[in-house]
Amino acid sequence: MIKTFIGQLYISNLEQNLQRKRPKNHVGNVYMKAWKGTQKRMKIMSDTARDRT
């Protein structure tokens, strides 16, 4: 929980920095998509772990 929160803070900060430099940042968009994908995967993993216990 805490780890993901810190991750989100870091990502939002990174996103702001990218937007400050260039409004339309292709790499930033790809990075955000990848991040959302990892978030989904983490959620699924945590759900399966909860089911196991």
Question: Whole domain around residue 32: which residue ranges?
Answer: 2-52
Indicate the helix (H) or strand (E) that contains 25.
none
H-only helix segments in the chain: 2-21, 26-52
pLDDT tens digits, residue range 42-51? 777 777 767 7
Whether residue 24 is predicted with pLDDT greater than 60 in this model: the reply is: no
- Contact (CB, 8 A) for 35 and 11: yes
Note the pTM of the prediction, 2 decimals. 0.29
Record the tokens describing residue 9, joined without a space. Answer: 């803070």
Percent of the chain scoring above 70 in pLDDT? 68
- The span from the CA of 43 to the CA of 49, in Å, is 10
The structural domain count of the chain equals 1
Q: What is the mean pLDDT of residues 25-48?
A: 72
- Contact (CB, 8 A) for 21 and 28: no
